Amino acid sequence: MSESHVHNGHPAIIKRLKRAGGHLAKVVEMIEAGRACLEIATQLQAVESAIASAKRTLVQDHLDHCLDEVVGDLPAERRQPIDEFKQITKFL
């Protein structure tokens, strides 16, 4: 059994994914109802963006948590490379 990994950002990620799941169900309904492809594509883009954002937030939250756990109580000047690494990952 794996160790539980619950981070502070998880509730917001869950909320975002549930909302994306609801939108995805609506997209299926739109397709079944024969709605215009442009409308469907627009909604699919929104779902895709929401999921990508949730993934990015999850990965960054995990990195932040794990790096903070490993670095511990290092003095600020020794933490600088880790803090910069955490900041630059937000551009991925």
Q: pLDDT tens, position by position, for the chain (92 residues)?
A: 456 677 788 999 999 999 999 999 999 999 999 999 999 999 999 999 999 999 989 988 888 888 888 888 888 788 888 888 888 888 87
Q: At which residue do the structure tokens 């880790």 appear? A: 82
Q: How far apart are CA 50 and CA 61, in angstroms?
A: 16
Burial of 4 (0-12, 13-18, 19+ CB in 10 A): exposed
pLDDT in the model for residue 4? 67
Q: Which domains does the chain have, with CATH numbers?
A: 10-91 (1.20.58.1000)
- Tokens found for residue 17: 């994914």
